[in-house]
C-alpha cells in the first residue's frame, strides 16, 4: 500500500497551503498596522495631555509664587503699620513727659 501522490496533486496541495498562509499573513499584517495606528494615536494624545499638564502646572506655579509674594507684602505692611504706630506712641509719650516735666505756673 503506497500512497503515491502525483506531482499535480502535490502542487495543488502546496498552492492551497500557500493561499491559506497568504491569507493568514494578510490578517496578521492588518492587525499589526492597526496596532501601529493605535500606538501613534495614543502617543499623540499623550503628548497633548503632557502639554496640557505643563500649562496647568505652570499656572499653578505662577499662582503659588504670586500668592506668596502677596502674603509677604501683606505681612510687611502689617509690620510697617505696627512699627509706625509704636513710633507715634513713643513720640506722643515723649511730648507728654516734656509737658509734665515743665513747672506749672
User: What pLDDT does 53 receive?
Assistant: 76
User: What is the C-alpha to C-alpha distance for residues 60 and 68, in angstroms, rounded to an integer?
Assistant: 12
User: What is the C-alpha to C-alpha distance for residues 1 and 76, in angstroms, rounded to an integer?
Assistant: 109
Cα separation of the two ends of the chain: 155
| Residue 101 pLDDT exceeds 70 | no
| pLDDT tens, residue by residue, 45-85 | 877 777 777 778 888 888 999 999 999 999 999 999 999 98
CA atoms within 13 A on the CB side of 30: 6
Give this prediction's pTM: 0.43
Amino acid at each position: 500500500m503506497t500512497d503515491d501522490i502525483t506531482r499535480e496533486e502535490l502542487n495543488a496541495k502546496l498552492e492551497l497551503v500557500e493561499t491559506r498562509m497568504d491569507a493568514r499573513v494578510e490578517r496578521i499584517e492588518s492587525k499589526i498596522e492597526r496596532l501601529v495606528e493605535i500606538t501613534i494615536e495614543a502617543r499623540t494624545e499623550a503628548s497633548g495631555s503632557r502639554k496640557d499638564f505643563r500649562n496647568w502646572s505652570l499656572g499653578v506655579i505662577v499662582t503659588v509664587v504670586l500668592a506668596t509674594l502677596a502674603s509677604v507684602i501683606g505681612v510687611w505692611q502689617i509690620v510697617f503699620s505696627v512699627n509706625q504706630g509704636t513710633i507715634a506712641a513713643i513720640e506722643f509719650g515723649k511730648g507728654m513727659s516734656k509737658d509734665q516735666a515743665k513747672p506749672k505756673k
